[in-house]
């Protein structure tokens, strides 16, 4: 058994990851970060996951980063959240250097709680040439092993247990683990209920539909299959 700082946003991927690690017998410290995201409602669901798993929960307030991370629909109110059928120009859903910030905070907490590893909920469809890639994770871990030398074990790990699973694979694993989908949050708009139309909602709905699994989520807009 290892003590693991699990970075949990409250979404399907990170909540499933937390359940998976708990099922393997690891001791979890759940970490959520408020980086000024317009869908900060997701943090309620990160806290709910920690409570359900009986894990301590830490929420870090970095809302002032919103100004630095402007230009993304996730942090900048002036940028519309794009729909899959009406894509915005550029990388509207990309938050500049977000994962490096989140993981830096996670490793700081790992030092505080004497953790053996940090876990991150990236999955197969996230993987690209940027801060979700295996190369990024490998190099970030190498940097943190230097940064935390003497404070963490030299073999401290950065885990990405879902990195080879597509969204359907994540949902299938979550079903097996008994994840309560109604206690997860996906929508980038962060309103009272899921919009059902943004890229994140569409991906969520599509995964359940592809698996033939009932999606208990309440959506504002009707479903148009892909």
Annotate 137-184 with DSSP letters as a single string: HHHHHHHHHHHTBTTB-TT-EEE-TTTT--HHHHHHHHHHHT--GGG-
N- to C-terminal Cα distance for the chain? 42
Q: Strands across the sheet with 157-159, in order?
A: 57-61, 27-34, 3-7, 117-119, 157-159
Angle between helices 167-177 and 199-211 (to 10 degrees): 60
CA distance 210 to 225: 10
**Residue 203 resides in a domain:** no
**Residue 41 resides in a domain:** yes
**Residue 137 resides in a domain:** yes
- Provide the token pair at 56: 């301590």
Tens of pLDDT along 164-215?
A: 999 999 999 999 999 999 999 999 998 999 999 998 999 999 999 999 999 9
**Residue 214 resides in a domain:** no
Domain boundaries, position 79: 3-190
CA distance 158 to 26: 14
**Residue 201 resides in a domain:** no
Residue 50 Cα distances to 65, 123, 205, 219, angstroms: 25, 20, 24, 24
Cβ–Cβ under 8 Å, residues 57 and 34:
no
**Residue 197 resides in a domain:** no
Exposed e or buried b per residue across 2-22, where buried means at least 16 C-beta atoms within 10 angstroms of its C-beta: bebbbbbbbbbbbbbbbbbbb
**Residue 173 resides in a domain:** yes
Q: What is the pTM of this model?
A: 0.93
CA distance 4 to 158: 9
**Residue 226 resides in a domain:** no
Three-state SS letters, 105-149 = HHHHHHHHHCCCEEECCCCHHHCCCCCCCHHHHHHHHHHHHHHCE
Domain count, the chain: 1
**What are the average pLDDT values for consecutive 10-residue runs of the chain, which has 226 residues?**
95 98 98 93 97 98 87 80 62 82 98 98 80 93 98 97 96 98 94 93 95 95 72
Q: Domain containing 100 — which CATH number?
A: 3.40.50.620
């Amino acid at each position: 058994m290892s003590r693991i700082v699990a970075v949990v946003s409250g979404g399907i991927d990170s909540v499933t990851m937390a359940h998976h690690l708990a099922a393997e017998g690891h001791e979890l410290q759940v970490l959520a970060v408020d980086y000024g995201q317009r869908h900060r409602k997701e943090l309620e669901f990160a806290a709910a996951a920690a409570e359900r798993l009986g894990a301590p929960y830490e929420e870090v307030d970095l809302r002032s980063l919103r100004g630095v991370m402007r230009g993304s629909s996730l942090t900048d109110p002036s940028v519309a959240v794009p729909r899959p059928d009406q894509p915005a120009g550029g990388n509207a859903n990309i938050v500049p250097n977000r994962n490096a910030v989140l993981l830096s905070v996670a490793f700081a907490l790992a030092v505080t709680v004497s953790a053996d590893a940090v876990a991150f909920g990236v999955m197969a469809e996230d993987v690209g040439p940027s801060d979700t890639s295996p190369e990024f994770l490998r190099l970030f871990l190498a940097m943190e092993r230097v940064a935390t030398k003497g404070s963490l074990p030299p073999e401290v790990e950065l885990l990405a247990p879902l990195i080879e699973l597509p969204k359907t694979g994540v949902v299938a694993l979550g079903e097996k683990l008994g994840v309560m989908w109604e206690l997860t949050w996906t929508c980038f708009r962060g309103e009272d209920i899921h919009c059902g139309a943004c890229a994140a909602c569409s991906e969520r709905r599509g995964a359940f539909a592809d698996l033939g699994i009932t999606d208990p989520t309440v959506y504002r807009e009707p479903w148009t299959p892909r």
